[in-house]
Structure 1
């Protein structure tokens, strides 16, 4: 059985959090909320505990983990790199939903990094995540707390659905505020490179990192040979039900005729376009962060519907919706362009 600890998301009780921290110290696993999604955490220096994460999630061993820190002193334990080029990003986005990739120190196990000589690091802003790291007194390696390939968890119930009985502790602090995994920027190469879009948008990052490189594979073009950060290669974020993602609106009517009973996933502003069909409202285009926050809950809800497939309407790829579309491309069984 998994121990479930319920805490206030803003003012978590230290006595309760100490119980979870003791599990981390003893080599156990703890699912905990961050501002992005729930993470499945373990001591990043404990190889056995890290391997347990991969076993629980059924995660490919070459898919690197993100290490979560609560201070720059902990960052120093992990990286063998010049942090000067990262100072502007850290000042702007830490604590927050941005992961940075650096060259790693030898002490960081390769089990954490998928065999790479780099390590991905983030300083979360969620009070529960910060307290857990502080009380554990160690950086915590933590991918999303779901079975690999499934939609990421944005509340404790999602974690329970996927991992109950396998993880030692689940900290329940309600819904995560942002609902999408962190933005990942690789600083280990000559030019800063975006490897995963997230809540910190490309437009925001470019103001701080004008020479940011945004590779074609983030737009669904081409592929990488091996994952350099989480979420790069494998099919991710997918419900069990097949999804057809329609990017070309001129082909939408053909898809609708082919699947007359399929539910339609679309923004609130488009609901009237599908009169008589089952609609799953993603949120408002006029408030795009609502779509990001709802995305994984919506994808998980598709598995409760009686239907062979679901149709998802493509969104404009700008701002936070670029990050949403990145997830939808990876979740889709078929993309119609």
Structure 2
């Protein structure tokens, strides 16, 4: 078993050296922690799938430190794409482009002729990539299907002994992953809602966008992560509690013979029953988005918790991304009075 080393930001030259040797290094971004491997080293990329237990037809995001690095692989970069890069890079926006033949292996792309690219806001990670002088794949650094990691400790919990190291730059700022937009088609298409909202993107492009709503088939390779397989799920069953239903939900919870986790935003006026344990999501959807994965992980470590009641928000603005992740963690299950 590997000894997983924790690297401080001042030690990233060593971490970059490990990437160049084909080792796996987890890295911080403003959204969640990613699991890095040299994107041009097919054997290293295959080890990412093994470490996470990730299905091999689930493509990986290619994380770059500059647009010049991206342009070594991507082609057909439209004027709309250039606008998005100018306004949102570095940042929590991932763009899908056609790729130049022979530049990235099928292990990275899932066999597609496209790949997803992201340049994170986190300066430590951009410097890590610069030092390694190669792009790195960047799926979330967790066991596949489990809540995404927002601290180095979360990564260590899931992947200790499976990867060479973790670059620890403290907790992430955003909490939910990047927005993914398909720029390989005639009209931009949102494949995954995220930290950059639809409204922000439409304001830059001055056009209305479509969101990919179709269900990815069993034999179909998704263009982006998070479109096909169950994600973000703790062992306990999550139930989403809509506005106005908390009194009924807490009354139900009080009657249960098992322990219940409560993930609630704005606790004002709510009394938590004795058989329940509270995780405060914060006062609004922004704070709740930042704390969502931490809350799911908190209760996943408590084996006596059998149900989790979690606050739902209106699906607008950042609430779209929040509810996308929460619905997946709950399997679309809502509390019904």
Would you call these one fold, judging by a TM-score over 0.5?
yes
1:311 is matched with which residue? 309
Alpha-carbon RMSD: 2.0
1:300 aligns with 2:301: no
| CA distance 1:212–1:146, shift in 2 (3 Å) | farther
Q: Which runs of 5+ in 1 are unaligned?
A: none
CA contact (8 A) 1:97 1:124 kept: yes
2:95 is matched with which residue? 100
Q: CA shift at 1:241, angstroms?
A: 1.5
1:289 is matched with which residue? 286
Spell out, residue by residue over 1:263-309, the C-alpha distance to the aligned partner (whole angstroms, 9 max, x if none): 322102x4523443543211112xx3211111111010112342221
Mapped partners of 1:272, 1:179: distance in 2: 27
1:124 aligns with 2:120: yes
Between 161-170 and 316-325, the greater mean CA deviation after superposition: 316-325
2:109 is matched with which residue? 113
1:188 aligns with 2:180: no
Spell out, residue by residue over 1:51-91, the C-alpha distance to the aligned partner (whole angstroms, 9 max, x if none): 10001101011111100111121111111213422111001
Spell out, residue by residue over 1:236-285, the C-alpha distance to the aligned partner (whole angstroms, 9 max, x if none): 011122111234745972685276352322102x4523443543211112
1:2 is matched with which residue? 3
1:320 is matched with which residue? 318
2:32 is matched with which residue? 37
CA contact (8 A) 1:192 1:211 kept: no
Spell out, residue by residue over 1:71-128, the C-alpha distance to the aligned partner (whole angstroms, 9 max, x if none): 1211111112134221110010001110000001221111101111110000111011
Mapped partners of 1:212, 1:311: distance in 2: 34
CA contact (8 A) 1:24 1:30 kept: yes
1:208 aligns with 2:204: yes
2:269 is matched with which residue? 272
Secondary structure, aligned partner of 2:134: coil
Q: How many residues are aligned here?
A: 324
Spell out, residue by residue over 1:18-61, the C-alpha distance to the aligned partner (whole angstroms, 9 max, x if none): 11111111111110111111110111111111110001101011
Mapped partners of 2:153, 2:322: distance in 1: 22
Mapped partners of 2:53, 2:181: distance in 1: 25
Mapped partners of 1:333, 1:75: distance in 2: 35
Secondary structure, aligned partner of 2:298: helix
Write out aligned runs for 1:209-228 (5 A). 209-215=205-211, 217=213, 223-225=215-217, 226=220, 227-228=222-223
Mapped partners of 1:103, 1:48: distance in 2: 23
| CA distance 1:244–1:256, shift in 2 (3 Å) | farther
1:177 is matched with which residue? 173
Write out aligned runs for 1:72-87 (5 A). 72-87=67-82
TM-score, scaled to structure 1: 0.90
1:330 is matched with which residue? 328
